[in-house]
Each structure stands twice: as C-alpha cells, then as structure tokens.
Structure 1
C-alpha cells in the first residue's frame, strides 16, 4: 500500500489527466497476462491479427509477472489533452541511467533487449510503442478517449455536489481517503509513505486498470491510475445485421475483401491475391474504411488494412448465413 499524505493545499490542487502513452503501457499487461483483464479480452481478441507485426520482444520486456510496468512508459500526463507524439518525444530524451533504473525496479536487472548503444535502444523502443499505437490503439482511441473524458466529467459533477473526498473514495474499492491520507492498496502489502508536499496529485482514468496503479518509484509525482467507468460496455457490439442486407450493401467484391482482411494486408497484396488492379482495390478499401468497416495503419512504407469491430460483426453474420 502507498499512503499519500496531503495538506489542504495538496487537496485543492488535485487534477485529472489522460496519458496516451500511459494507457498504452498499462495495456501491455493485458497482452502479457490477458487472464487478469477479462473486461479487456475483446480488445486482445481484436488485435490478434496484428500481433505478429509488433515488436513484442521489446514491448513485453516492459512488464513483469507481477504486472508492474516500467515507469518511463507511465508518465504523469500534463493535461487531458496530452498527445502521444509529445510523450514519445519526451521518452526519446531519457538518459541511459534513468532507463536502466526503471527497468531494474521492474525486473531486478536490465533485460537483454535493452542492452547495446543507448540511442539505438531508445529509437527501437519508440518505434515499438508507435507501431503498437498505430495498429492496436489508433483504431479504438476515439472511443477509449470518450470513455475516459466521460469519467472525468462524472467525477467533476460529484466534486461539485459532494466534494473531493467523495471523488477520491469513489475511485476504487482499493482507495480510501480520510481527510488527510489517501491510501492506495496495491498488491504489495508493505506500507510506503509519500508526502505530496506540493508536487500535486493527478488522477488518471484508464481502460486497462482493473484496480488501481501508481508509479513504482515513490520519488515520482503522485499519480493514481484508476478504472474508468464504462470499461465493460466499451467493447460491446450491436446485434448483427441481416445477412441478405449486408450482401446487397457491400456487393461481391467488397464482401470478398472484408473476408480477406481478417489479417492485415496492403492493397498491393490484396490486388495480387484477387487478380484485380491495385487502384480498384484502393478505391474499395477507402470507401470501406470511411464506412467504419476497416481499420488502417501505416507500417513502414505500406498502409495495412484490417477489419474493424463493425467489419468483424458483418463478416461473422455473412458466414453464419
């Protein structure tokens, strides 16, 4: 457990933030041990087709079997509008000693994948995180962000009506506030004391936190990552449409493309596979992406397309028919 000790000024300075990089870092735990994150299983299933494109050697080395994640991929957000690009740029300036110290707190040593020239290692880390974002997060981020912003608005209404104490005590069953101390119960039962001392306390809603999380390093600014309301409903899908209507809507060519895109592919790959021109395939793919049936992400010089949740639902309905 960590006990944040707060003066009146610390309580009045509590704020909310959203960190894309932190959310991505927390999501790595669902890749590492999905059984611990049942509400996020639909997301794990949806990205199964792109996992072979991820640098999982690098990404999964950021997590340990206690589901601790290296602090440098859980930065405290500066505002609810923090961008991934800015956070990755900041990560690019991390020192070798800082990188290694955070990894040693997680693993007890520095994993082999982080050995080598510091600049090369950090560049690989940035690429690995950016690719994971493009393939696994970007297609869902608008919806994720909306859930987190809705949570912040909800907590703001509680603060206005019942005070910040009600907000803090309502974050999670693992959080308790007594007017001076904010106790955050973690998996480690040992009690750590961390006076806030004007450093500010930031509350960060997350789709990928089942209980609560805090920085491993107590010297970092106080931050509590808590489960956003609506996690379970986020991945729900509507009842599948009528199969005959789907066929009439898509036509044969687009229906075939939708079937083929259970795995990521480029327009060139699809054109060769189906024996049609790349320009014709591109036209269909762009229309289907605009309609929300496909996700797309840049991978190197190619643009890869793959089915979205809506595309999966349509494809499944067609298969049953």
Structure 2
C-alpha cells in the first residue's frame, strides 16, 4: 500500500485532467502487461485492430515492452496548462498535440534516468533498448506512432469518450462540493481510501511506502478504458498523477455491491455466471474450465453448451480439444456487470490457471 500525504496546499492543488494520451496508452496496452484494463478496452480494440496503421508500431511496442510499466516521461507534466482546484473542481482539457510536444521536450537527463529503472543494457526489452540507443531523439518515432494511432483509431470514438469523462468529473465535483475533497478522493475506487488525517491509501499490488505530495497536489485522470484498478505516477516538484475508472452507475460515491447482489447470477444462475466470467478471464478448454470452477468436465461442458446456446460464448476446435471464448453479446453482458467481473477475476487469479 502507498500512502499519499496531503497538506493544505495539496488539497488546493488537486484537480482533474482529461488526457487523450492516457487513453492511447491504456487502449494500446495488452492485458498480460497491464492489469487494470476492462471490457470497454477489449471491445474498442476488437473494433479497431484491423485499422491500426504500421506507423503506430513503435508506440505499441513501447507501451507493451515491460510489465514494469511505462517510462515516467510518457506522463510528462504540462506546466503551461495547470489549473488549480476551484469551487467547481474544474478539469484541464488537454490536447494530444500538447501532450506529445511535452514528451518530445523531455530533457536528456530525465530521459536517461527514467530508462535506468529497467535495469542494465542486457536486460532491456527490445523497444526500450532501441529507444535508449537512439536517445531522446528516438521519441519522435514514438510520438508519431501515437498520433497515427489516435487519428486512425481513437479520434472517431473520442467525442463520446470525452462526454463520459466530463460527466464523471461533474459527478465527482458534486461529491466534493457536498462532502469535501476527502470524500471525493475516497470515492475514486475501492483501492483508494481517504483517512481523515490527510492520507490517501492506494493499493497497487507490491509497491508500498509513504509519499508526501509536497504542496504540488494530485492530478486525477479518469480513464474510460481502466476498469479494474487504479494507476499512480509519483513525481517530485510537480503534481503526481492518479488514473482511475469512471464511476459505477450508482454514482461517484457508490460502494461495490455485496457479492450476493449479482444481477448476472440472477439471470444465468450462479454456476453459469461463474463459468461466463471464467471464460472472460481467458479463452479456455472444457477441461480448463472445469478445473477453474472446481467441477467435473461433464458439468463444465453442460454450462458451456448453455452459454453457447444463449449466444454468450463461441466454441472452436483446437486439435483434439475445443476452446471457449466470449462472444460480442457475452462481452456486452459482462460490461454491464463490471464490479462482479472484477471480483471474479481476482478469485480466478487466486485459483490459478492449469499448467
């Protein structure tokens, strides 16, 4: 757990930002490398993947180069467009051109320092090694790739995504006005918990420790593609960044529904709801599905047949086995049950996939 310590100035300097670059970074990420993504990203990627331009390859390679995440300079601060927290919690509306210019303007020393976190030359993934060898001038290939991906694939969706982001910010602004900034921060995600002594506790897996924001505040970036967690980029001398999902339908202050309040299970039955979510976690054979659910293969086969008959999964032969995967209808159904899907994903992770 990371504890972010707020002073009075940090609360005054906390604000929202709408970032097209953040959405390119999360939209281009693979689930095997980045764990906070959700079904919205999957659905978008299925729709656009055939239209991804070749120019985007350097950007895609960098985004997925390492499970350690992205170099910090990809979240470069835009000093020229800072805006402090107002009574209405105004948001900074960033332009992608400004964000990419900020990446290109990263000093060489900062560039080298950020790449050093990935280890020695022999340990660097290919995309990072090439960027290190090219130096900061190699960032031009990355930003050109990001622009090509946005223009071809994200721009048609951006007006609707922006509308959803603005609505989320407005909802959270009302929470801040009604109950205070601390209550608003506490409502960001179950992995972010506000303590009255001015500490925001963030659960992010292994990282732990205390970090004082030092009067620079926190920039909150709602992200349409992030559904299963939060992301944090700590910074000295400038605002730290926290990426969070949009609020659930209950509003910004809504808490996760109890496990028993599962609309999907009410429709499909608990066993088939679990089976659908297991298949969502990764396409699997009938035998693998049985092991994930702790049931017999005939029972798993029966569940798969029922889900297939309902149009929620597809089944194809793979050698001597069959493999089950979500259909478009199945994706959409799970999209309407994000919290339950996230809980099940955690449960499946604890069970573990068969070797």
Q: TM-score, normalised by structure 2?
A: 0.58
State the partner residue of 2:60.
59
Residues in 2 aligned to 1:63 and 1:102: alpha-carbon distance in whole angstroms? 16
- Give the 3-state SS of the residue equivalent to 1:47 in structure 2: helix
2 CA distance for matches of 1:58 and 1:23? 13
Q: Report how far residue 65 of structure 1 moved.
A: 4.6
Distance in 1 between residues matched to 2:225 and 2:76, nearest whole Å: 15
> CA–CA distance in 2 between the matches of 1:193 and 1:219?
16
Q: After TM superposition, where is structure 1 displaced by more than 4 Å over at least 4 residues in a row?
A: 31-36, 106-110, 216-220
Q: Secondary structure of 2:214's match?
A: coil
In structure 1, the residue matched to 2:44 is: 43
Distance 1:53-1:31 versus aligned 2 partners, 3 A rule: farther
Aligned residues: 230
Partner Cα separation in structure 1 for residue 120 and residue 157 of structure 2: 34
CA distance in 2, matches of 1:35, 1:191: 18
Gaps of 5+ in 1: 232-321
Matches within 5 A, 1:131-142: 131-142=148-159
Query: Quick check: 155-164 or 113-122, which moved more?
Result: 113-122
Show the counterpart of 2:70: 69
Aligned-residue offset at 1:187: 1.9
Q: 1:200 aligns with which of 217, 220, 223?
A: 217
- TM-score, with structure 1 as normaliser: 0.64
Alignment pair present for 1:3 and 2:21? no
Which residue of the other structure, out of 196, 203, 213, is the alignment partner of 2:231? 213
Greater mean deviation of Cα atoms: 39-48 or 101-110: 101-110
Task: State the partner residue of 2:101.
Answer: 89
Correspondence for 1:98: 110
- 1:34, 1:41 within 8 Å by CA — same for their partners in 2? no
Asked if the contact 1:174–1:211 (Cα under 8 Å) also holds between the matched residues in 2, the reply is yes
Query: Using a 3 Å threshold, how does the CA distance of structure 1 residues 45 and 108 change in structure 2: closer, same or farther?
Result: farther
Q: Deviations over 1:35-60 (max 9, x none)?
A: 86341111110111123524324432
Do 1:214 and 1:222's aligned partners in 2 also have CA atoms closer than 8 Å? yes
Q: What stretches of structure 2 of length at least 5 have no aligned partner?
A: 83-90, 250-355
